[in-house]
Amino acid sequence: MPDEKGFKTLNLALQGGGAHGAYTWGVLDALLEDSRVHIEGVSGTSAGAMNAVAMAHGFAQAAREFKDPREAQLAGAAKARETLARLWEGVGGMGTLMWGIPMPMAGAFMNVISQWFSPYQMNPLGINPLRKLLVKEVDFELIGATNAKQVFVCATNVRTGRGEIFNGKRLSADAVMASACLPMLFKAVEIDGEHYWDGGYSGNPAIYPLIYKTESADILLVQINPINHDILPDDAQEIMERMNEVTFNAGLLAELRAIEFVRRLLAEGKLDQRRYKNVLMHRIDGGSVLSPFGAASKMRTDMSFLKQLFTLGRDSGTRWLKSHFKDIGQRPTLKLADNA
């Protein structure tokens, strides 16, 4: 429901997918431009985590400068858009997400070389230019100090195999790098004596922190990994790509099934509505939009390509707002039974 200030509140769940995260950048730009939308919390994995902290940085800056909540909201949205643009422009200057290896060689190189060498051999110093860029653009201490947005970043603990959520004072550049750490490309990220790999193995993205740690019942999932794949993969690379899609969607689908189960029990009066949140799920499906580009393009970061994805994301975000803004706080628009 609209609050006394005239805007509606929702949470965001942002999937990871390498350079395809530029599509999510576009979606966020459209949402942030619409002054009727108030984002309470955001959960992100990998590229989704980078988008999440960049957005939170903008709102944290505004919270420090403005005391009036409405002024902070409007200024924060503008600053968040600026931070996201700077971050992705920085990514666009890197060439690819594989130490500068040019496309289209990067995908083939990874498939071949990862069979014989680990990142501990190929990159023993753990060099990752994304971390330097992230530290430059995002003030993690400020995000924690202002608490302008609830941010949850998922990474996978190598020892336990379980997803771990970093937020509050534990939110850091290392946590975001852990969330984006593909084990065949980068050394595991060490945080407080534990080692972490990509959060996509355990939650892409993790939904449950938004259920338990925020007030809003509405969650908008920005999905960039396709769930359905209508053509049977029949060569080695296509099979591997589809296996990765299935793996990185598994945790999400499990959570969607749980949400649907709880919603059904609440509707049947079998659960106490004072104790269980009736989650209203929404989705912007970027997976179907991005599928034609192929999995190898997730490592392509030339600025022309990122801008193309940004435009696609903005269009999707604008269409979603036009079709479903009225549904926020009223009803879910994602049919979980069909997707879980």
Q: What is the DSSP letter of 326?
A: G
| pLDDT tops 80 at residue 115 | no
Model confidence over 133-157: pLDDT tens digits? 999 999 999 999 998 899 999 999 9
Q: What amino acid is encoded at 260 in this protein?
A: E
Q: Average pLDDT of 238-243? A: 82
Q: What is the predicted pLDDT for the residue at 119? A: 54
Nearest-CA neighbor of 81 among 142, 141, 39, 128? 39
What is the rounded average pLDDT of the residues 165-190? 94
Can you tell me the distance from the alpha carbon of 170 to that of 140, in angstroms, rounded to the nearest whole number? Answer: 9
pLDDT of residue 122: 53
Q: Which long-range contacts (CB under 8 A, 24 or more apart) does 183-189 make?
A: 183/119, 183/158, 184/110, 184/114, 184/118, 184/119, 185/97, 185/98, 185/110, 185/114, 185/119, 186/119, 186/123, 186/126, 186/128, 187/119, 187/120, 187/123, 187/124, 187/126, 188/158, 189/155
How many whole angstroms separate alpha carbon 261 and alpha carbon 328?
A: 21
277: closest CA among 320, 337, 216, 232? 216
pLDDT one-digit tens code per residue, 249-301? 888 999 999 999 999 999 999 999 889 999 999 999 999 899 889 888 888 88
Separation between Cα atoms, residue 93 and residue 83, nearest integer Å: 16
Q: How far apart are CA 207 and CA 44, in angstroms?
A: 9
Residue 179 has pLDDT above 80, yes or no: yes
The predicted model gives 102-128 an average pLDDT of: 51
Question: 118: pLDDT confidence band, cut at 50, 70 and 90?
Answer: low
| 3 state SS of 161 | coil
> CA angle at residue 324 from 36 to 295, to 5 degrees?
105
Q: Which of 94-98, 122-126, 184-188 has the highest mean pLDDT?
A: 184-188
How much is the pLDDT for 232?
A: 87
> 257 versus 93: which is more confidently predicted?
257
E strand or H helix at 314: helix 303-324
Mean pLDDT of the chain: 88
Distance, CA of 300 to CA of 98 (rounded, Å): 9
Pairing outcome for strands 150-157 and 163-166? antiparallel
